[in-house]
Amino acid sequence: MNPLSKSRRRVAFVMLIFAALFLVFISRFLYLSTTKKFHGEDMLVYAEKKRWESQSTLSAERGEIFDRLGSPIAINIPSYHLVAIYRLGGVKDPDETVVDFKKTATGLAPILGMSVKELETYLIENKDRSQIEFGKKGNDLTVDQKEQIDRLKLPGIRLIEEPKRYYPNGIFLSDTLGFVQKITEDNGRVVLKGQMGIEKQYDEALRESFGSRVFEKDRSGGELVQGTSKISNEPKDGSNLYLTIDHRIQQALEKQMQKMYNEYKPKNATGIVMDAKTGEILAMTDRPSFNPNLRDMTDFTNFAVSSRFEPGSTMKIFTLAAAIDAGVFRPNEPYKSGSYNYKGTVIKDYNDVGWGTIPMIEGVYHSSNVMFSILTAEKLGIERYKDYFKKFHFDQKTGIDISGEVNSQSDLSKPLNTLITSWGQSTAVTPMQILQGATAIAGDGEMVKPHIIQKADHTDKAPYKAKTEVVGKPISAEAAKATREALDGVVNSKIGTGQMYKLKDYRVIGKTGTAQISENGKYIQGQFIHSFIGMAPKDDPELIMYIAVDRPSKNESSVSGPSIMSPVFKSVMNTALQYRSIKPATQKESVDVKAKIIPSYIGKSMNQAEEMAKEQGAVPVVLGDGVEVVSQIPTRGQEFVSGERVLFKTGRTFKMPDITGWSQRDVKKLVSLYDLKLDVIGKGFVTKQSARTGTLVKENGKLTVELAEPKE
């Protein structure tokens, strides 16, 4: 077939389609013109009905935001928009339009904050227009201003009601809460739209849905008094949100943070109070901040979730917890402080010289970089540290229900970076990641996810209520308790770096931090991010508080953090504990940095011995099926330190425990207690055991263990 024939066929096909469509159109037209019905309804009647029908909008309100106690945080109030009418239908009317400019200006000027002359000039300059507005001076007028204007009864002056968001507390959770802005839609309707923070993130849930009503109108367009009307679309208010925030604790935090900010003028600062058991955020604020009613912000960053930085020594609590959980932290083991050479890189303590040869537990109190380097490199091992880093979820976002969260930034592919990370440099994390990890130490080893939305009263679906979400268990309950015991001396010993955070009526534990700041691949000299993470009460923490201050402009030094931040922490934590109805406790004396003396447990029941050992800070290991302790190691009168294993013999036989990770010293305790014959292969910590876990072992039996140094 030649090209011309193909072209003719295409043209014929297209013409056929158009002809078919034309026939359908003509048929429909003839049907409508003949029957005069559309969807079974007479078109003339339908047209006449629509001619006298009109529609009005049924208003609805944006959802409001409250704290956990129902105290308002973001609410709706009416506001008014001022308009001056010069002509109605092109006609001036002394009773309905502005004619007397002097009288109008004299009445309105003091209410709008303008001079009479200025306002009169403005009215005269625009007299040829149909109507005018008054710019910023005539927007967002209050109810009081409206009532003042109404009393004047000025012809041609109209007040149009518009929605307005009001934040009754001013500077209050501002960087997290955000703000809304008035938006004029294509149909002229003014609505509120979230522009930042919770207001923006949950804008869809908070947003209202306007309704509509159809009514009969008269010739002037007004509604017929005796006419019919019906609602064609029901209006729906937006969902109300309830936050986990406690306004009393939030106000205390805002007050103290502002006081600190006014005095020290740091570049940035953040403070967060969290429920240790549920992950609920009870208070959170940044500095600098802003008043959402004024939107006078200079920084749009939510420091708690959107900024990551090298945290400094607050990171050491997780290294300590990991080492205790792995069974490699020996509190009373001596080490030489001051400096440590790791494969050619010299790591120093913050004072450069250290404190001589001291026990490792004192290294915790002193915040010794050298001790934590030895603990990571020689005891725990680089690879095992990396495993715990992931167990504490430092490699992922927390998933908190706040927008803008960033992840940590790390490079653990190099052993040196991992080692430095273990004491708080090299890796950048967020304050929220630190808080989430701390919940495992505050509790029984379980880590809970932080959240700030408590519930939502949805109007179109089932209400939402948040639940506590456990996101992992990086350490055991015993390790968590032993970590808290070890941290006690940071605040409550005479040599701890956190002594200034001590409270009179509550036992606080925690960890200080001072981090160098990296810019363009180099650390800035003489400027630091100071931080502190504390929890209370020590034995069963209810609250965790984190505070960080970035480069204060006054009293800046590597050791100035406690003097800057402790007044904030102490005031807010004390207030929060009281509001949470936590009973004050009589404080014990300061932590004794020396080893403890083991008592006798012989003759005690298994449960009594376990309870006593735990109270002493030891880790009890019960062997045998007897009802009471017949022998023990360490024996009565020997020294021991918090976190050390104490073995109890209750029978002549016992089921073999899993001793993976035990030190050779702990294995020798077991061998001595049951007169076992021991064969040791290698050195370091147990990786294999000849008797399987649960195997029945008798006195004078044989045990072979393989040991290995921690891997790098």
202-259 residue pLDDT tens = 999 999 988 877 766 655 555 666 666 677 778 899 999 999 999 999 999 999 999 9
Whole-angstrom distance between the N-terminal and C-terminal Cα of the chain? 79
d(CA 274, CA 442): 11
Q: To which H or E segment does residue 697 belong? A: strand 696-698
So what's the pLDDT on residue 496? 94
d(CA 654, CA 166): 69
d(CA 476, CA 227): 75
Going by pLDDT thresholds of 50, 70 and 90, the confidence category of residue 182 is: very high
Contact assessment for residue 73 and residue 243, using Cβ atoms and an 8 Å cutoff: yes
665, 684, 675: which is closest to 703 by C-alpha? 675
296 or 428: which leads in pLDDT? 428
Q: To which H or E segment does residue 175 belong? A: helix 174-177
- Highest mean pLDDT among 182-186, 324-328, 683-687 belongs to 324-328
Q: To which H or E segment does residue 136 belong? A: none
- Which two three-digit tokens encode residue 353? 């010289």
d(CA 266, CA 257): 11
Query: Is the whole model's pTM more than 0.85, yes or no?
Result: no
- Flag the least confident range among 39-53, 334-348, 572-586: 39-53
**% of the chain exceeding 90 in pLDDT:** 69
> Is residue 157 predicted with pLDDT exceeding 90?
yes
> Is residue 420 predicted with pLDDT exceeding 50?
yes
d(CA 224, CA 277): 62
- Flag the least confident range among 119-128, 591-600, 611-620, 660-669: 591-600
Distance of CA 298 to the CA centre of its chain: 21
Identified catalytic residue from 307, 313, 368, 531:
313
> Is residue 275 predicted with pLDDT exceeding 90?
yes
Where are the domains positioned within the chain? 3-51, 56-242, 247-579, 596-708
Return the residue matching tokens 């450069």. 352
Where would I find the beta strands (DSSP E) of 570-623?
Answer: 596-597, 619-623
d(CA 357, CA 335): 5
CA of 540: how far to CAs of 450, 481, 507, 598, 624, in Å? 19, 9, 10, 24, 31
36-62 residue pLDDT tens = 565 555 555 555 555 556 666 788 999
d(CA 645, CA 622): 10
In one letter, which amino acid is 289? Answer: S
- Flag the least confident range among 172-186, 599-613, 659-673: 659-673
669 or 23: which leads in pLDDT? 669
d(CA 103, CA 115): 13
d(CA 580, CA 246): 10
Return the residue matching tokens 């096909």. 13
CA of 679: how far to CAs of 41, 661, 667, in Å? 101, 17, 11
Q: What DSSP string describes 279-315?
A: -BEEEEEEES---TTTT--S----HHHH--B--GGGG
The length of the chain is: 712
So what's the pLDDT on residue 712? 41
Q: Class assignment of domain 247-579?
A: alpha beta
CA of 369: how far to CAs of 71, 488, 527, in Å? 46, 18, 19
d(CA 382, CA 385): 5
Report, as an integer, the average pLDDT of 625-652.
86
652-666 residue pLDDT tens = 999 999 998 787 888
Q: Supply the mean pLDDT for the chain.
A: 89
Q: Which residues pair with 274 in a beta bridge?
A: 281, 544
Please indicate whether residue 130 is annotated as part of the active site: no
From the options 3.40.1280.10, 3.10.20.30, 3.40.630.40, 3.30.10.20, give the CATH code of 596-708: 3.30.10.20
Domain 56-242 in CATH: superfamily? Penicillin-binding protein 2a (Domain 2) (3.90.1310.10)
Going by pLDDT thresholds of 50, 70 and 90, the confidence category of residue 615 is: confident
